Amino acid sequence: MNRSYIGGDWVEGKSVLKNLNPSDINDCVGEFECIDQSQTNEAIQVASDATTDWQEIGIHRRAEILDSIGSKILERKDELGTLLSREEGKTLPEGLGEVERAGHIFKFFAGEAVRISGSSMDSVRYGVDVEISREPLGLVGIITPWNFPIAIPAWKIAPALAYGNTVVFKPAGLVPASAHALTEIISESGLPSGVFNLVMGSGSEVGAAIVESPLISAVTFTGSVETGRDVLVKTAERQAKVQLEMGGKNPLVILDDADLDIAVECALNGAFYSTGQRCTASSRLIVTSGIHDHFVTRLVERMEKMKVDHALEPGTEMGPVVDETQLKQDLEYLEIGRSEGAEIVSGGIQLERKTKGYYLAPTLFTETSNNMRINQEEIFGPIATVLKVKDYEEALSAANDTSFGLSAGICTNSLKYSRHFRHKSEAGMVMVNLPTAGVDYHVPFGGRRNSSFGPREQGQAAAQFYTATKTAYISS
Ligand code: UN1
| In contact, 284 and 252? CB cutoff 8 Å | yes
Which residue among the candidates 245, 317, 378, 457 is catalytic per the annotation? 245
Helix (H, G, I), strand (E, B) or coil at 170: strand
Ligand 1 residue neighbourhood (C-beta within 6 Å): 145, 147-148, 152, 222, 245, 278-280, 437-439
Distance 157 CA to ligand 1 centre (A): 16
Identify whether 279 is a catalytic site residue. Answer: yes
Report the percent of the chain where pLDDT is more than 90. Answer: 100
CA dihedral 129, 132, 133, 139 (to 10 degrees): 130
8 A C-beta contact, residue 272 and residue 306: yes
Instruction: Please state the length of the chain.
Output: 476
Name which residue sits closest to atom 3 of ligand 1, judged by CA. 438
Residue 80's pLDDT is 98
CA of 407 to the centre of ligand 1 (A): 10
Tell me the CA distances in angstroms from 37 to 55, 213, 238, 256, 329, one per residue in order.
Answer: 27, 11, 19, 56, 29
**Nearest by Cα to 172 from 19, 284, 400:** 19
Q: Which CATH superfamily is domain 251-432 in?
A: Aldehyde Dehydrogenase; Chain A, domain 2 (3.40.309.10)
Residue 177: the pLDDT is 98
Catalytic annotation present for 411 = no
Q: State which of 90, 104, 152 you would mutate to test the pocket of ligand 1, scoring each by most atoms of that ligand within 8 A of its C-beta.
A: 152
Selection from 116, 65, 270, 87 nearest residue 175 by Cα: 87
Mean pLDDT of 241-259: 98
Beta strands 119-122; 166-170: pairing state: unpaired
Per residue in 320-344, pLDDT (tens digit) is 999 999 999 999 999 999 999 999 9
CA distance 418 to 366: 25
Give the Å distances, CA to CA, from 153 to 101, 157, 200: 11, 6, 13
Tell me what pLDDT residue 364 has: 99
Query: Of the residues 88, 279, 378, 411, which is catalytic?
Result: 279
What per-residue confidence (pLDDT) applies to 475? 98
Residue 428 — very low, low, confident or very high, per pLDDT cuts 50/70/90? very high
Which pLDDT band holds residue 393 (cuts at 50, 70, 90)? very high
Q: Which of 99, 249, 278, 439 to mutate to test the pocket of ligand 1 (most atoms within 8 A of CB)?
A: 278
pTM over 0.85: yes
Atom of ligand 1 nearest to the CA of 145: 4
Note whether 135 and 164 are within 8 A (CB): yes
The interaxial angle of helices 151-162 and 59-75, nearest 10 deg, is 160
Q: Which of 113, 201, 97 lies closest to 157, judged by CA?
A: 113
Q: Is 261 exposed, middle or buried (0-12, 13-18, 19+ CB in 10 A)?
A: exposed
> Does the structure show a pLDDT above 90 at 437?
yes
DSSP for 450-467, written as a single string: GGEESSPBSGGGHHHHHE
Cα gap 85→319, rounded to integer Å: 9
Give the per-residue pLDDT at 82.
Answer: 98
CB distance 411 to 394 below 8 Å: no
Residue type present at position 403: S
User: Can you tell me which atom of ligand 1 is nearest the CA of 245?
Assistant: 10
pLDDT at 1: 86
Q: How far is the CA of 471 from the centre of ligand 1 (A)?
A: 35
Q: What is the pLDDT of residues 149-163, one digit of tens each?
A: 999 999 999 999 999
Q: Find the 245 Cα to ligand 1 centroid distance in Å.
A: 9
Opening angle at CA 90, ends 440 and 99, nearest 5: 45
Q: How many other C-beta atoms lie within 10 A of the C-beta of residue 142? A: 27
Neighbours of 445 (CB within 10 A): 21
Ligand 1 pocket mutation pick from 280, 378, 379, 380 by most atoms within 8 angstroms of CB = 280
Ligand 1: which atom is nearest the Cα of residue 101? 3
In 279-423 the beta strands, taken as DSSP E runs, fall at 282-288, 343-346, 363-366, 383-389, 407-411
Q: What is the bridge-based pairing of β-strands 9-11 and 4-6?
A: antiparallel
- Report the separation in Å between the CA atom of 273 and the middle of ligand 1, taken as the mean of its atom positions: 12
Residue 213: closest CA among 260, 168, 157, 269:
168
Query: Taking the domains of the chain in order of start, what are their residue ranges?
Result: 4-246+451-475, 251-432
Index of the ligand 1 atom closest to the CA of residue 407: 2
pLDDT band at 406 (very low <50, low <70, confident <90, very high): very high
Per-residue pLDDT at 353 exceeds 90: yes
Q: What is the mean pLDDT of residues 238-244?
A: 97
Atom 4 of ligand 1 has which residue's CA nearest to it?
A: 279
Strand segments, DSSP code E, in 1-138 are 4-6, 9-11, 15-21, 24-34, 119-122, 128-136
Mean pLDDT score of the chain = 98
Count of CA atoms in the C-beta half-sphere (13 A) of 101: 22
CB 186 within 8 A of CB 196: yes
Give the class (CATH, top level) of 4-246+451-475. alpha beta
* Ligand 1 mean position, distance from CA 132 (Å): 33
pLDDT of residue 462: 98
Give distance in angstroms: CA of 439 to centre of ligand 1.
Answer: 7
